[in-house]
Chains A and B, each alone.
Chain A
Amino acid sequence: MARYDRAITVFSPDGHLFQVEYALEAVRKGNAAVGVRGTDTIVLGVEKKSTAKLQDSRSVRKIVSLDDHIALACAGLKADARVLINRARIECQSHRLTVEDPVTVEYITRYIAGLQQKYTQSGGVRPFGLSTLIVGFDPYTGVPSLYQTDPSGTFSAWKANATGRNSNSMREFLEKNYKETSGQETVKLAIRALLEVVESGGKNIEVAVMTKEHGLQQLEEAEIDAVVAEIEAEKAAAEAAKKAPPKET
């Protein structure tokens, strides 16, 4: 099997593209990221590994704007992310210049996924080692969307999804607990999913909320702490309720 991972343009005998699969491994090692789509709000949350004492945490923004109405979070190789994000930002403006319309979320997702695919079928290059979660509102219909792309270049729309470390547990949680939410409820759902796998606290998660009116807003540490506290309180109350009245019959 070692023979089939040097040049990624080759298939293995059993139909695998090993470089792409190894890229997915890199994603699995990256920080956890979650996205939840509400009726009027879309929330992106990313795990923040504890910042070094001397590091300026403001320079490590993991949720970025691609355009006024589109945002992106990713898991995997951050340097690769910079390249993709830069190309996507150029494409957003280029689209506005040529057709005088902002991009739709699907268009830019398709573009990013297309780039990722190109690098799985070119000579001498390796795939991008990241999966992205792309959120935004359609510029005309105002419909919110959440898309995910991965190193193979596939993409699809989701109601809620997670990628990166422990994404399976987060996705399981979301599958069990997802319901149509709006506003603050959507924020809570996203943070609850993230807290399944991340140490709780505003210092360890970065959350950004996108609304039609205000675009992308990064939540302050204090705001995140407040929501986390709310969630813990709810959890504690649920635990207490479960334990308290067992004999009601």
Chain B
Amino acid sequence: MECVFGLVGKDFTLVVADTSAVHSILVHKSNEDKIMLLDSHKLMGASGEAGDRVQFTEYIQKNVALYQFRNGISLTTAAAANFTRGELATALRKNPYSVNILLAGYDKETGPSLYYIDYIASVHKVDKAAFGYGSYFSLAMMDRHYRGDMTVEEAVDLADKCIMEIRSRLVVAPPNFVIKIVDKDGAREYAWRESVKDVPVPAA
């Protein structure tokens, strides 16, 4: 029931992901951050098998960092997306990773971008995308309300509409979401949308 979706705005890209880590009927934690900071200006939201998700995204993150040290310059978002896709493709017919990825980035020359990379290594550059059961609802919402050139407020408002749909219509809807944004100032957390919070219990 993992939900990840994203959209490109005027000069930023937004990525939203649910934050529950689930194993069968048990919710391990509801504040699991599934959107990784790939580098200063890239976000990688991932959904899929828990072990693969962390292993694969960390592997990509370290390779992106290595590229930067070797070459003194960061990878573009397109290059990072193609590298990620290449790694998925190489492993696909041997030892496939079950991870779906939304890669959001901001490049000085080309502005904001969003790449849809699914677990069988197809890659598409898109304006809006979503994975998981939540995609039935968030994609429909975005198709209805998305425009090119949205401001941050408008985009977050649209994200909230999508979260509302997921919460009300998905049978086992995740309670909490995290919204992250990447623009010319870098990639950072924007907000959380929590409906269930862990209350710290005082010691006996």
A86 to B66, CA, bound (A): 9
Number of contacting residues on B, CB 8 A? Answer: 9
Q: Which residue of A lies closest to B58 (CB)?
A: A97
Q: 8 Å CB contacts to B: which residues of A84-103? A: 86, 89-90, 92-94, 96-97
- Min CB distance B195 to A, Å, is 30
A89 to B62, CA, bound (A): 11
B190 at the A/B interface (Cβ < 8 Å)? no
Q: Which residue of B lies closest to A61 (CB)?
A: B72
Interface residues on A, range: 10 to 19
Interface code B18-53, partner A: CB below 8 Å = 1, 0 otherwise?
000000000000000000000000000000000000
Interface code B65-80, partner A: CB below 8 Å = 1, 0 otherwise?
1100110100000000
Q: Which of B58, B63, B66, B70 has the most CB of A within 10 A?
A: B66
Partner of B65 from the list A61, A86, A93 (CB cut-off 8 Å) is A93
Q: 8 Å CB contacts to A: which residues of B69-111? A: 69-70, 72
Residues of A within 8 Å of B59, CB to CB, are 97
A160 at the A/B interface (Cβ < 8 Å)? no
- Min CB distance B9 to A, Å, is 30
A90 to B72, CA, bound (A): 14
A96→B62 contact, CB < 8 A: yes
A89→B58 contact, CB < 8 A: no
A93 to B69, CA, bound (A): 10
- Interface set of B (CB-CB < 8 Å, partner A): 58-59, 62-63, 65-66, 69-70, 72
- Interface set of A (CB-CB < 8 Å, partner B): 61, 65-67, 86, 89-90, 92-94, 96-97
